[in-house]
């Protein structure tokens, strides 16, 4: 049975999000900047408040009631994430600040220790700066070389060119599952398979996929998967790095200090077991509590249903935008719930400002993908990105606001 918008009670869902009751410039808030960050349901906010109000304590340290309750909640968050993406063990789940920090952890803990002169790293031409820049810099330090999977004209990756790029020199392949700038959904399962045939590891940036579709990390068989809590109804300040245990165990720590140690003397130190080995210092406890509740919320609705809802929205948006004059859409026709577009004669920043007058929150700019924008021959795009609390009426509001912007600039 196909899932439809009618089966997802969006108006009821909206009631769970206090911020969506706001009015901006006297207009109903239409929030379609979900690729940047998502709004938080009351249950997430209340759970974090409850931690601070009733069992605020540090984890793995205090043998008292508060410390034990905090530790249980923190570890349960790891287990919830593992179950959510079907990790082999919750010990493979490492909490970071965000996807960016997770990628830097890999760049320094893996790249700096296992790359050498002449090795090759393969990225794609649609990568976010958070993936591109760390590996670019690590390549400079190690003498490795970065190569890029080119884009086809339709905004998808050239998989034949990817296969030709692979060789015995390839040590790392790092790609986004979903492009934050184009909405392209990449076949990361096949990308990982080809990488493994060359004994290379595959890293997947799941920041734009994990919040929007059902992910099975074992089925994808990538070696590392990264994503951020704030893009999936959770709080800012917490991200996730999931990695295969054998790789995590041979990597040295990225940060040193409290809770990542096993034993310390004046001469030497040994490291804690996973995942604590990579979680130095006081971790994001309240944020972990909030992330678990966000996962509970998403699972109650159903990731398949959320994905189906977004697919109906993006198809409707493409139909609506195809009727607008002087509007160009970017990326493939089959895509995630991300619509990047330009309006002739109007800079994306100006367009975003005018839409704000209508209560419509979009993003305008290069979306942390400057090389991609240069390749497309533009400085940036306007971007509307959808989630479970958006509706077709929101898309109609975007259309009205664009028509108003065109009237103003005409």
Structure tokens that stand for 14 in this block: 């909206």
75 Rama sector, left if φ>0, alpha if ψ -120 to 50, beta otherwise:
alpha
Active-site residue 202, yes or no?
no
Structure tokens that stand for 355 in this block: 């839409």
Question: Is there a contact between 24 and 223 (Cβ–Cβ < 8 Å)?
Answer: no
Could you say which of 174, 176, 202, 368 is catalytic?
368
Catalytic residue positions, numbered:
368
């Amino acid at each position: 049975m196909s899932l439809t918008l009618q089966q997802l009670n969006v108006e009821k869902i909206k009631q769970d999000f206090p911020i969506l009751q706001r009015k901006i410039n006297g207009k109903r808030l239409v929030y379609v900047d979900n690729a940047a960050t998502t709004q938080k349901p009351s249950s997430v906010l209340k759970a974090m408040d409850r931690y601070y109000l009733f069992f605020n304590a540090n984890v793995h340290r205090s043998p008292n009631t508060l410390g034990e309750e905090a530790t249980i909640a923190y570890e349960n968050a790891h287990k919830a994430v593992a179950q959510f993406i079907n990790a082999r063990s919750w010990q493979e789940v490492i909490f970071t600040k965000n996807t960016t920090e997770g990628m830097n952890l890999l760049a320094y803990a893996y790249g700096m220790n296992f790359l050498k002169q002449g090795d090759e790293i393969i990225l794609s031409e649609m990568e976010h700066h958070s993936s591109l820049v760390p590996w670019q810099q690590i390549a400079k330090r190690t003498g490795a070389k970065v190569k890029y999977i080119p884009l086809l004209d339709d905004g998808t990756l050239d998989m034949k060119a990817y296969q030709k790029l692979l060789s015995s020199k390839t040590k790392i392949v790092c790609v986004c599952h979903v492009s934050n700038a184009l909405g392209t959904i990449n076949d990361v399962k096949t990308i990982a398979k080809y990488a493994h045939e060359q004994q290379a590891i595959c890293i997947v940036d799941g920041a734009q996929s994990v919040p929007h579709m059902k992910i099975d990390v074992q089925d994808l068989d990538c070696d590392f998967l990264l994503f951020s809590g704030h893009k999936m109804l959770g709080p800012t300040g917490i991200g996730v790095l999931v990695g295969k245990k054998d790789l995590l165990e041979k990597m040295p720590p990225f940060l040193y200090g409290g809770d990542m140690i096993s034993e310390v003397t004046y001469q030497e130190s040994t490291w804690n077991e996973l995942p604590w080995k990579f979680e130095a210092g006081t971790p994001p406890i309240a944020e972990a509590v909030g992330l678990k509740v966000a996962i509970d919320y998403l699972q109650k609705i159903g990731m398949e249903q959320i994905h189906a809802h977004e697919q109906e929205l993006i198809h409707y948006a493409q139909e609506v935008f195809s009727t607008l004059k002087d509007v160009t859409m970017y990326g493939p026709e089959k895509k995630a719930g991300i619509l990047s577009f330009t309006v002739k004669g109007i800079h994306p920043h100006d367009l975003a400002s005018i839409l704000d007058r209508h209560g419509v929150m979009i993003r305008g700019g290069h979306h942390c993908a400057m090389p991609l924008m240069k390749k497309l021959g533009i400085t940036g795009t306007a971007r509307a990105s959808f989630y479970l609390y958006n509706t077709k009426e929101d898309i109609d509001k975007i259309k009205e606001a664009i028509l108003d912007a065109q009237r103003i600039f005409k």
